Amino acid sequence: MSMFKNRGFSLGLITLGILSMGLIGVFFILTIYLQNALGLNAFNTGLIFMYASVSVAVFGPLSGFIASRIGPKWISTFGMFVTSFGIFLLRDLFSPTVKATVLAPGLILFGAGIGMASAQLTNIIISQVNIKLAGEASAVNSTVRQIGTSIGIAILGSVLASTLVTNIPQNIKSDNSIPAFAKTKIIESMKNVNVESGAKADPTFTKKYPVIAKAVGNDVSLAITDGAKAALMLAFYFTLIGAFFSLFIPKTKIIANEEMPKVVE
């Protein structure tokens, strides 16, 4: 427990926890949006994620190279701001009819920010303690990351679900292409919204009225898009708050021995 008396260690963990609430939650929201709003299958969704994955693979090692010269703190902070901008850009690009490849700039920025922030933040946290406690520090680091991830997915998923429950009925009620006699039945069939699989009308009904089914599909896609935007805005705030806390982490000069790292205020 003595590790938590170290200001840099504790602030680093707080920053990591808040950042984790936003990062992995974004992938969760993106998956639902790509598959249920844009209609991509799992394989094509994975291909779209490659923009972010390649960006992480490039900027992760590059940030380590730069951090060895100027220290990890500012690289990590800058990476969080880049991540925030990437999330905001993704949100701005979201549309029920957009081509998935249009999201590439946002995904690249998002991945670059993760590559810079995540590894270097771990570097900062572990470097704050005596090398003999590196195992314990690493365990705490992993625990905080997983807790932040779980809480983030729960919060962002709840925002998405609540938006769907509100917006789907509203969209259907205001859709002039759907006859009045059908609206009540459609809304009733969609009361139990499953966020992961998307909301779908009764298949018997959709086969009988294909034109109406198409209109309902558009209304649902619009609701998912709006819900995803709301969730991403929250993730944007999480990453900004994480970046703010990182500003107060002491600048650390990492040294290769068993002594405590020298903290340069």
3-class SS letters over 3-47: HHHCHHHHHHHHHHHHHHHHHHHHHHHHHHHHHHHCCCCHHHHHH
The answer on 96 and 54 residing in a single domain is yes
Could you give the CA distance from residue 240 to residue 83 in angstroms, rounded to a whole number?
A: 9
Ramachandran region, residue 6 (left: φ > 0; alpha: ψ -120 to 50; beta: rest)? beta
In a domain, 85, yes or no: yes
Residue 201: domain span: 165-220
In a domain, 23, yes or no: yes
In a domain, 145, yes or no: yes
The answer on 176 and 100 residing in a single domain is no
In a domain, 159, yes or no: no
Which residues have a Cβ under 8 Å from the Cβ of 60 and sit 6 or more positions away? 115, 116, 118, 119
Describe the crossing of helices 210-246 and 72-93 by its angle, rounded to 10 degrees: 160
Query: Lowest-confidence range among 67-71, 166-170, 201-205?
Result: 201-205
The answer on 247 and 119 residing in a single domain is yes
Degrees, nearest 5: CA angle 108-42-148 = 60
Average pLDDT over residues 37-65: 92
pLDDT one-digit tens code per residue, 79-104: 999 999 999 999 999 999 899 999 99
Could you give the CA distance from residue 117 to residue 198 in angstroms, rounded to a whole number?
A: 32
Average pLDDT over residues 201-227: 76
Global pTM reads 0.82
Number of domains composing the chain: 2
DSSP code of residue 249:
S
In a domain, 225, yes or no: no
The answer on 46 and 94 residing in a single domain is yes
Residue 167: name the closest of 92, 96, 220 by CA: 220
The answer on 180 and 149 residing in a single domain is no
The answer on 245 and 214 residing in a single domain is no
The answer on 235 and 215 residing in a single domain is no
The answer on 199 and 177 residing in a single domain is yes
Residue 252: name the closest of 30, 40, 73, 49 by CA: 73
The residue ranking higher by pLDDT, 258 or 126, is 126
Could you give the CA distance from residue 94 to residue 106 in angstroms, rounded to a whole number?
A: 10
Could you give the CA distance from residue 88 to residue 239 in angstroms, rounded to a whole number?
A: 11
In a domain, 179, yes or no: yes
In a domain, 172, yes or no: yes
**What's the pLDDT score for residue 101?**
93
- CATH at 108: 1.20.1250.20
The answer on 86 and 116 residing in a single domain is yes
In a domain, 226, yes or no: no
The answer on 171 and 259 residing in a single domain is no
The answer on 70 and 20 residing in a single domain is yes
